[in-house]
Amino acid sequence: MTDQQDLRRGESRSAENSSSVVVDLKEYKQSKDPPPVTFHRRELDAILWIYGRMVGDGEWRDYAIDHLKDRAIFSVFKRSGEMPLFRIEKNPRLAAKQGAYSVINTHGVILKRGHELQQVLKVFNKVLKLVET
């Protein structure tokens, strides 16, 4: 409700009496901060499948997901109070270069990097060894 009287048909308010501002929606959206980078459902399915397997083996116990402006990070922990054992990162800026996905260990060393998440996650596959008795 306003204190102004209703307009009759054909009348218009002068610009000096009007307090409304018209903003182009496209310009408004571009001026806002971009949304954070996130993992898609299929990416999370693949990561959580590996996570579940490692939890079952007793190697991992906790995880954290961070959605930042420039990348998304899935961190896995042995204990929740420690540094992450591994970080699975998605960085779209590197998609055309080295690949958007990477696995990084506690010391910051990139263990594997690539364009496809499934290929990068193969770093967690254990190699079976033949043991002779």
What percent of the chain shows pLDDT beyond 70? Answer: 77
| Segments making up each domain of the chain, as ranges | 41-129
Q: Give the mean pLDDT of 55-59.
A: 89
CA distances 44 to 22, 52, 53, 101, Å, are 41, 12, 14, 13
pTM over 0.75: no
CA distances 40 to 44, 72, 116, 125, Å, are 6, 10, 13, 22
pLDDT at 80 over 80: no
Measure the CA–CA gap between 117 and 47, rounded to whole angstroms. Answer: 9
pLDDT at 15 over 70: no
pLDDT at 83 over 70: yes
pLDDT at 66 over 90: yes
* Residue whose C-alpha is closest to residue 51's, from 41, 43, 61: 61
pLDDT of residue 11: 63
